[in-house]
């Protein structure tokens, strides 16, 4: 008989009580419901959380389902609003805007991507934008909101949504959730760390002269990277040569009467500005390149473009990139300690969730064997690279030349993987499939088209379809989408109804 050696992890220690710390603890607690492992979160009372991270992508709804958190309860507890996509203003050139929708755009016709049919239509009779066929954007443009019922198919079914929320309220909500799931919270500052003979983390020494030991450590200490970097010396792959923005100023301002169900990302002289609407306030931030823009100029820009500030503006520096190994020995880095891809496509919270869900799928024994770690790191690396390429796409295709910052984009060397993808697309609108790419083909089409990157021709097999019939169907589809949207609630009404029922 083969003897198995099962030596499960008995104690997990999560360092940090920001968004990453509490999401990690929540996913661990939910997935280890029936095990005897303990989970402890250690959070410093001296170091505040980064306090930003308020826009998400649709996977946040999957996370809530995984954690069995009722959507309505979460929305009310975190002052959340709905997000149907992102409106990109002045990116291609000043005065131009485009949308990046959530959900699908159109449906396949004769087994071929909708985009290819639309492309042929563009060459012959440019009447509609690609995203005119997105239900999410049809809703967003009118500040409407609707959650498709999976049991009822209609022309809004292809719409999906994410949330905007208050990051500090999310941390508070998840902390309560975790406590309810048996997670222990230790509010202590970690002074130092001891490694064992194999170089694994063994003990954390706390401010109150006590210490805590564990089998496995999740480093959610933010930019401090207390365990993965300071203790284990894992390096950082700096991607600033691909994504040179390195600083942000953020401030909250008063709410506007109509709450838009989308994030706004407006390009400015030296970077871009976000506007994230919540139920009770608006989050604003200007992400810029400090080589070209002083803090004073950034502050002025944010002031000029926001309603009255209700919080003191705050500056945050960051270095775009990724930890060389997200998982090393008995330590997993999650959140800002693992890397940061600037917030243009709101991907950080997704990466927190994805890292933890992948980890739970690869849950090791105490030994933390190398092949498991290597495979985990390979998979998460691919995710990071695909997201990085998608973000670079928004900049490198700009036609703006009105400042040194935008002129720089004419000369920047973009990742080879992205170059190959754009070159292939420019031929006949085909996209290289990457199963680790978070962003769907429709996301790529929306941004490529929004930035004015148009293929030279289309897939010749499209010519087998009845062009006139499809053209008529296009007109009908846009009209019907407009009709359906007119019957839905406004975003404000939808949220008010949640509050009152």
Q: Which of 48, 267, 285, 286 is nearest to 168 (CA)?
A: 48
Compute the C-alpha angle 345/350/351, nearest 5°. 100
Sign of CA dihedral 161, 165, 170, 171: positive
**Residue placing its CB nearer to ligand FAD in the complex, 320 or 492:** 320
Asked if 49 is part of the footprint of ligand FAD (rule: CB under 6 A), the reply reads yes
Q: Minimal distance in Å, beta carbon 224 to ligand FAD? A: 4
**Residue placing its CB nearer to ligand FAD in the complex, 15 or 387:** 15
Residues numbered 162 to 221 that lie near ligand FAD (CB under 6 A) are 167, 189-190, 220-221
**Residue placing its CB nearer to ligand FAD in the complex, 40 or 490:** 40
* Three-state SS at 94: coil
- Say what the alpha-carbon torsion angle 17, 20, 21, 24 is, to the nearest 10 degrees: 160
**Residue placing its CB nearer to ligand FAD in the complex, 330 or 477:** 330
Question: What gap in Å lies between CA 136 and CA 159, rounded to an integer?
Answer: 5
* 13, 14, 19, 25: which one binds ligand FAD (CB under 6 A): 19
- Where do we find the tokens 């953020």? 250
Asked if 345 is part of the footprint of ligand FAD (rule: CB under 6 A), the reply reads no
φ, ψ for residue 484, nearest 5 deg: -60, -40
* Three-state SS at 364: coil
Contact track, ligand FAD, 283-322, x by CB under 6 A: --x------------------------------x-x----
Q: Minimal distance in Å, beta carbon 178 to ligand FAD? A: 13
* Three-state SS at 201: strand
Rounded-to-5 percentages of helix, strand, coil across the chain: 40, 20, 40
* 32, 39, 50, 481: which one binds ligand FAD (CB under 6 A): 50
Asked if 44 is part of the footprint of ligand FAD (rule: CB under 6 A), the reply reads yes
Asked if 16 is part of the footprint of ligand FAD (rule: CB under 6 A), the reply reads yes
288 CB neighbour count, 10 Å cutoff: 27
**Residue placing its CB nearer to ligand FAD in the complex, 43 or 437:** 43
* 113, 222, 271, 313: which one binds ligand FAD (CB under 6 A): 222
User: Residue numbers of the site for ligand FAD (CB under 6 A)?
Assistant: 15-21, 42-44, 47, 49-50, 52-56, 167, 189-190, 220-222, 224, 226, 248, 285, 316, 318, 335-337, 343, 346, 348-349
């Amino acid at each position: 008989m083969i003897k198995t050696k099962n030596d499960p992890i008995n104690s997990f220690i999560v360092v940090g009580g920001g968004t990453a710390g509490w999401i990690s603890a929540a996913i661990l607690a939910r997935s280890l419901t029936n095990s005897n492992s303990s989970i402890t979160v250690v959070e410093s009372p001296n170091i505040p959380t980064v306090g930003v991270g308020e826009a998400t992508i649709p996977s946040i709804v999957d996370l809530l389902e995984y954690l069995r958190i009722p959507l309505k309860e979460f929305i009310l507890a975190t002052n959340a609003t709905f997000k149907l996509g992102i409106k990109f203003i002045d990116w291609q050139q000043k005065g131009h805007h485009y949308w990046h929708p959530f959900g699908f755009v159109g449906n396949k016709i004769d087994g071929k991507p909708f985009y290819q049919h639309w492309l042929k239509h563009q060459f012959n009779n440019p009447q509609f934008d690609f995203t005119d066929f997105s239900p999410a954007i049809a809703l967003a443009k009118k500040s409407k909101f609707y959650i498709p019922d999976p049991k009822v198919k209609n022309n809004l079914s292809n719409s999906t949504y994410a949330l905007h929320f208050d990051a500090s309220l999310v941390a508070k909500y998840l902390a309560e959730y975790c406590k309810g799931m048996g997670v222990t919270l230790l509010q202590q500052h970690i002074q130092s760390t001891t490694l064992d003979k194999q170089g694994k983390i063994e003990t954390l020494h706390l401010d109150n002269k006590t210490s805590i030991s564990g089998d496995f450590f999740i480093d959610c200490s933010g930019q401090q990277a207390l365990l993965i970097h300071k203790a284990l010396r894992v390096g950082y792959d700096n991607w600033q040569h691909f994504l040179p923005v390195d600083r942000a100023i953020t401030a909250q301002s008063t709410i506007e009467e109509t709450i838009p169900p989308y994030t706004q990302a407006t390009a400015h002289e030296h970077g871009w500005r976000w506007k994230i609407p919540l139920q009770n306030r608006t989050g604003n931030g200007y992400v810029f390149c400090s080589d070209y823009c002083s803090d004073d100029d950034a502050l002025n820009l944010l002031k000029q473009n926001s309603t009255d500030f209700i919080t003191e503006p705050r500056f945050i520096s960051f270095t775009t990139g990724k930890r060389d190994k997200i998982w090393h020995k008995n330590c997993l880095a999650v959140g800002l300690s693992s890397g940061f891809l600037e917030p243009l496509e709101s991907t950080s919270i997704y990466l927190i969730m994805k890292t933890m869900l992948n980890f739970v799928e690869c849950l090791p024994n105490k030994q933390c064997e190398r092949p498991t770690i290597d495979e985990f790191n390979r998979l998460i690396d691919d995710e990071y690279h695909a997201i990085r390429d998608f973000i670079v796409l928004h900049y490198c295709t700009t036609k703006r030349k009105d400042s040194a910052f935008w002129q720089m984009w004419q000369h920047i060397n973009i990742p080879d993987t992205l170059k190959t993808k754009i070159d292939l697309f420019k031929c006949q609108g085909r996209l290289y499939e990457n199963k680790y790419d978070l962003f769907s083909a429709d996301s790529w089409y929306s941004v490529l088209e929004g930035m004015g990157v148009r293929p030279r021709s289309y897939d010749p097999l499209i010519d087998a379809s009845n062009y006139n019939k499809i053209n008529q169907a296009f007109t009908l589809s846009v009209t019907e989408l407009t009709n359906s949207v007119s019957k839905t609630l406004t975003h404000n009404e939808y949220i008010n109804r949640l509050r009152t029922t």
